[in-house]
A and B are shown apart, each in its own frame.
Chain A
Amino acid sequence: MSSILEINNLSLSFGGVKALQDVSFRVPENTVTTVIGPNGAGKTSLFNCISGFYKPQQGTIRYQGEVLAGVKPPVRAAMGLARTFQNIALFRGMTVLDNIKLGAHVHMKSGLLGSLAYFGAARREEMAVRSHVEQHIIDFLEIDHIRRQPVASLSYGLQKRVELARALAMRPKVLMLDEPVAGMNREEKEDMARFILDIREEWGVTVLMVEHDMGMVMDISDHIAVLNFGQVITEGLPEEVQKNPQVIEAYLGTSDMDSLRKKLNPEQEVA
């Protein structure tokens, strides 16, 4: 399978702190690829590099065969790299509908004069976006009932869903989701997992996700990369990754299951 996104030898540091060291992995096209790793492993920094917000000191990011160095974040968005944020970055001064429509910004053309007059092409374009958003995104994500509400009034789970809607309005080729189910209850998680699978299958979008919820990761991922202390430990299919002793060590601090059990349950030993 060809890769839509390829990270090669990426290094990023802030002063003396090395956030990413020589990170390489690939995102095969039309898969759900997940980056996992303990807190502080550099997952969000990686996303920020792909978005173009951080400039890595070394290495390349190749998107659809093209090296992204020097491409500004808005241009990357227009090229089809859409994302959501770990700590929800909705625009609090706008309604749900306007937040979603904002996602379509890069695909719209109307200029200032057209906007001032709200006439002709500018008006038609707004209407086209509205109907696209309504029919394909709001319906799909089942958020019709809240479209008029200011985003600040929504529950956490719904806010995450609106963020997903906004990213979808960007017509992504690669959709980057930063912890899409963090802080959700079980039902919300299941909904979100279903949406992610549908997005990949029906929309043909490649999903790149950072997530801690191992149940969900193992269920819906096609490809997993494991990051620890800024380095990729391994990548591969979910089953392969699960068995990798280094991964177990990174997550649990040891690969020796016996000693781990002792650590977790010292009383049992006595009994």
Chain B
Amino acid sequence: MDWLFFGEISLAGLAMGGLYALIGLGFVIIYKATRVINFAIGEIMMFAAYLFLAFAGGMEMSPWVALPLAVLGGSLLGGVIEKIMIRPMLGESSISVVMVTIGIASILVGVVEMIWGADPQLLPSFLPRKPVFIGEMYLAPKIAYGFLIGAALLIVYLLYFRFSRGGVALRATASDQAAAYSMGINVRRVFNLAWVFGSLAASLAGVLVAATGGLSPQFGAIGLSVLVVVIVGGLDSIVGALIAGVFIGWLETVAGAYLGGEYRMPATFAVLAVILVFRPYGLFGTHEIERV
């Protein structure tokens, strides 16, 4: 076995996994606060990446202006979706709400294709191109720097949710909506903010992933990988999303490199199937007590 090759593949996979962890975090934020499983998260990522393409490519802005604008656009989209399509579903069965997010995903794919066409496109490159070596192992610079930016946001998020007022409100709402409401927390606002913050994380990851692999209206399928991440980690566990994100990213890349691209999805979904059978609430998720 060629250990150097394995090391390089693993490194690329782990870096990719870091971005999965970020998207997973966005997903978990939304789920924890609102109990909505967001099947449209991949499409929100895609939308932000196309915004970046429009700003940096079409309008020829500096990528460092376009990136925050695109991420902002993606998070606004999340907020708007929550306000006009998710809020009316408050109190409906979780299955109905999930289906609404599936519908939203379909709308976003159509809109993107309508505006930017169906053909795959490349994002203008904006990350440093100097090869990165860790020891002897080579890591593609796009992936390395993408990982660093993603990791930075991830750390900011973790600190924010641990220490800020907003973070406390979010965690309070997650653990008991009624109690949070009676303590004067504006639960509706928390719901909205959760969507905004969750979409923000997803949007940044969306631009970074698209920068390494290109962009097309099918890009949202990455949402399926994210789904695997959050189920394996546990839907309501931030730690779970981080660990599972890194692991699934690594597994996908290694399976793709050694077995072929067609094995990427089956490999991760096999892990998912095992988890569903043996630890249905994920590695770190909480299992709620059922009542009659």
Contacts and interface: CB of A to CB of B under 8 A. Distances in A.
A90 B292 CA distance: 12
A12 to B, nearest CB: 12
A53 B292 contact: yes
B134 interface: no
B289 A48 contact: no
B95 to A, nearest CB: 14
Interface in B194-230: none
B31 to A, nearest CB: 23
Interface in B265-292: 289, 292
B292 A89 contact: yes
A44 B292 contact: yes
Contacts of A89: 292
A89 B289 CA distance: 18
A70 B289 CA distance: 20
A91 interface: no
A176 B94 CA distance: 31
Nearest to A87: B292
A169 B289 CA distance: 30
A85 B292 contact: yes
B289 A14 contact: yes
A86 to B, nearest CB: 8
A167 to B, nearest CB: 14
Interface string A5-35: 0000000001000000000000000000000
A128 to B, nearest CB: 30
Contacts of A85: 292
Interface string A25-59: 00000000000000000001000100001000000
Interface of A: 14, 44, 48, 53, 85-86, 89
Interface of B: 289, 292
In order of increasing CB-CB distance, the 5 nearest A-B pairs are A85-B292, A48-B292, A53-B292, A14-B289, A89-B292
